[in-house]
Amino acid sequence: MINSKQKILFIINPISGVGKQKIVEKLVSTHLDKTKFDIDIAYTKRAKHAIEISVNNVNKYDIIVAVGGDGTVNEIGKNLINSNTTLAIIPAGSGNGLARDLKISMNIKKAIMLINEGQTKLIDVVKINNDYFIGTAGVGFDAYISWKFDEVSKRGFWTYLKIALKGFIKYKSLDYTVHYNGIKETIEKGMLVTFSNSKQYGNNILISPNSKIDDGLVKLISVRKFPLIYLPVFGYYLLSKKIHQFKYTQVITSEKIILINPEKKIHIDGEPIEMDNKLEIEVMHKSLKVIVNE
């Protein structure tokens, strides 16, 4: 008899986010439809282990499930590009930006049951030099926050906000040269300089409310340094999904963007890394199949 079940692998980051991932194995056993799936579970044991596991198992499984935050999703998802393996997400991180963009429930039970339904779509992934991001990447203050957030043991929205507010006052904005659509220009005193494939950083903070994750385009959202008196106004626009209307904001949309970064520190889907000063960004249109709530 031919086994018509799909093979599914859960890759769980046991230290991601705020601890929700600790109950995943029990909930999978209870709520995933065993008539549809043959289930395997792997736990990451060190930094970047999710990359190793996904590389070794791409095309061996019908579905690989990333259990963790945006960083874990990135480590797994970028190895499934243009493969026969579908990415699923169980959000267990601090911000869960990509999961929110795909309308995946923050409730782990509901996210697992969504996999039973098997609704999929093809989304874009963005190549940045020799790496990839699925949600957002950034330089400047954007990267500064990610590096500082990585240094603290306590996770969550309020820790992120505390770091951002403390850093805003002392952060020195830089100038960036950007090339796009045959145009060369300078972003002067760029504070937030974010590349957005999806709409948000996480926690429903929408840095790019008009982004669509399957339109073949990437947006560069830059916010110039502004006087401290405008901080409440900036917060209002950011939280009300209107950051593009803030007078210090510029939005660039293209399939390809080159940016010269005075520093080497950046973030990719919230994870701090160092990269060459010249950043070449290119959209890989509809290159990743994901399970979604649509």
Angle, helix 141-151 to helix 157-170, in steps of 10 degrees? 130
Mind giving me the DSSP string for 260-292? Answer: E-SSSEEEETTEEEE--SEEEEEEEEEEEEEE-
Q: How far apart are CA 193 and CA 201, in angstroms?
A: 12
Q: What is the dihedral of CA 54, 127, 157, 14, to 10 degrees?
A: 10
16 in the same domain as 113: yes
Chain-wide mean pLDDT for the chain? 92
Domain contains 293: no
Same domain, 66 and 107: yes
**147 and 90 within one domain:** no
- pLDDT for res 155: 65
Q: Is the pLDDT of residue 1 over 60?
A: no
| Alpha carbons 197 and 213: distance in angstroms, whole number | 6
Last residue of a domain, one of 86, 118, 150: 118
Each residue's pLDDT tens digit, 254-287: 999 999 999 999 999 989 999 999 999 999 999 9
Q: Tell me the one-letter amino acid at 237.
A: Y
> Residue 68's closest CA among 272, 215, 269, 280?
269
pLDDT above 70: residue 2: no
The reply to whether 63 falls in a domain is yes
Token pair for residue 224?
């110039």
pTM: 0.91
Domain count for the chain, please give it.
2
CATH code at position 70: 3.40.50.10330
Give, as one character, the DSSP assignment of residue 69: S
Residues 135 and 262 both lie in one domain: yes
Tell me what pLDDT residue 3 has. 60
**pLDDT value of residue 206:** 93
The answer, yes or no, to whether residue 288 has pLDDT greater than 60, is yes
125 located within any domain? no
pLDDT tens-digit series, residues 103-137: 999 999 999 999 999 999 999 999 999 999 999 99
From residue 292, how far is each of 39, 183, 201 by CA, in Å? 20, 36, 18
Q: Are strands 120-128 and 278-291 parallel, antiparallel or unpaired?
A: antiparallel
Structural domain harbouring 176: 131-284
Q: Can you give the length of the chain in residues?
A: 294
Domain CATH for 246: 2.60.200.40
Which of 163-167, 209-213, 247-251 is the least confident region?
163-167
Q: Which two tokens stand for residue 66?
A: 């990333």
Q: Could you give the 3-state DSSP secondary structure of residue 74?
A: helix
Looking at residues 84-102, what average pLDDT do you find? Answer: 94
Residues 6+ apart with CB under 8 A from 195: 126, 128, 133, 136, 137, 138, 218, 219, 220, 221, 257, 281
What is the C-alpha to C-alpha distance for residues 97 and 114, in angstroms, rounded to an integer?
18
Provide the pLDDT confidence category of residue 17 given band limits of 50, 70 and 90.
low
Residue 294: per-residue pLDDT: 77
